Amino acid sequence: MSYDNPEKSIALISTRPLKKDHETIGPKDNYKFTIIDQPLSKITPLKDYSTFDSILEDINQFHHIVFISTNAVYFFIDRLNKNKISIPNNLRFSCIGATTREFIENSLKKDVFCPSDIYDSEHLLKHAIFNNIKNKNILIIRGKGGRETLKKGFESREANVIYGECYNREYLSLNLTKIKESVQNFDQVYLLITSLESARKFMSHNINQNLDWLNSINFIVNHQVIKNELQPFSKVSITDNISLISLQKIIEG
């Protein structure tokens, strides 16, 4: 994909998992920058879904389902369809991010509770829907492993919480030298990081040996904690929405 204006060429390095990137960022046509995929993690299905499927078969016991990511929604829907399980009408849906909320609304046609300003577990816990959850059954859909903030927060309010883990996340390494070479002919370069774990993985690379060129590019993140993790870099923009339309607005200034 080429940039329309011959006077300025722009590259966006996306560190998101490839499948997730294609599902949630959107089509790559008709945007005024070139997307270069350099994923920091890879999403893969579980080898054995017996535990997760057994949870879904008992879905009527839950009052709330909380989705950690769009990947959680994708695999949840996939297993529902394969097992021909219907969603109870009274089940409430919540999630952390705006992109995940949009995915749920479009895919399941359900209302979704979500933080309104800052998209993280701490702010979801402040939502009024969770003010009175004593003895309520809450299912958190996520990948293997992750933060315990939501579970501990719900349990402190005497809710019954279990995890439905439905995918694996494998962290990958980047060759920063090769990435530098791939973008050297662009006038402007942006690098997108959308999870704290990915930011930490990025910072574990040989950053000092690449500090000059990394300081010359622009980072885009979707949370303040990710920006904090990228402390050596001053050109970091925060956006709540990582759709291509939103990213283009940032790039166009």
CATH code assigned at 84 = 3.40.50.10090
In this structure, how many other beta carbons lie within 10 angstroms of the beta carbon of residue 56?
20
What's residue 28's pLDDT? 52
3-state DSSP call for residue 76? Answer: helix
- Are 222 and 191 spatial neighbours (Cβ–Cβ below 8 Å)? no
Clarify whether residues 151 and 248 are in a common domain.
no
User: Could you list the pLDDT tens digit for every one of the 253 residues in the chain?
Assistant: 334 445 679 999 999 987 544 344 544 555 678 999 999 999 999 999 999 999 999 999 999 999 999 999 999 999 999 999 999 999 999 998 888 898 999 999 999 999 887 778 888 999 999 999 999 999 999 999 888 999 999 999 999 999 999 999 999 999 999 999 999 999 999 999 988 889 999 999 989 999 999 999 999 998 889 999 999 899 999 987 787 788 888 888 7
Clarify whether residues 55 and 165 are in a common domain.
yes
Clarify whether residues 54 and 94 are in a common domain.
yes
Q: Which residue, chain included where needed, has tokens 């000092």?
A: 208
Domain contains 232: no
Pairing between strand 218-221 and 188-193? Answer: parallel
What's residue 99's pLDDT? 82
- Give 58: exposed, middle or buried? Use CB within 10 Å, 0-12, 13-18, 19+: exposed
Clarify whether residues 79 and 160 are in a common domain.
yes
Clarify whether residues 54 and 157 are in a common domain.
yes
Q: How far is Cα 45 from Cα 208, in angstroms, rounded to an integer?
A: 35
- What is the enclosing helix (H) or strand (E) of 20? helix 18-24
Clarify whether residues 177 and 138 are in a common domain.
no
Q: What are the backbone angles phi and psi of residue 171, rounded to the nearest 5°?
A: -85, 140
Q: How far is Cα 99 from Cα 101, in angstroms, rounded to an integer?
A: 5
- Cα 201 to Cα 188, 194, 197: the distances in Å are 24, 12, 6
Clarify whether residues 110 and 59 are in a common domain.
yes
Clarify whether residues 160 and 183 are in a common domain.
no
Clarify whether residues 16 and 65 are in a common domain.
no
In this structure, how many other beta carbons lie within 10 angstroms of the beta carbon of residue 102?
17
Clarify whether residues 114 and 181 are in a common domain.
no
What's residue 111's pLDDT? 93
3-state DSSP call for residue 220? Answer: strand
Domain with 64 in it:
44-169
Beta bridge partners of 34: 11
**pTM listed for this prediction:** 0.80
Q: How far is Cα 102 from Cα 90, in angstroms, rounded to an integer?
A: 20
3-state DSSP call for residue 158? Answer: coil
Count of structural domains, the chain? 2
Domain contains 206: no
Clarify whether residues 79 and 23 are in a common domain.
no
Domain contains 252: yes
3-state DSSP call for residue 98? Answer: helix
What's residue 246's pLDDT? 81
Domain contains 55: yes
Clarify whether residues 76 and 141 are in a common domain.
yes
- Are 172 and 198 spatial neighbours (Cβ–Cβ below 8 Å)? no
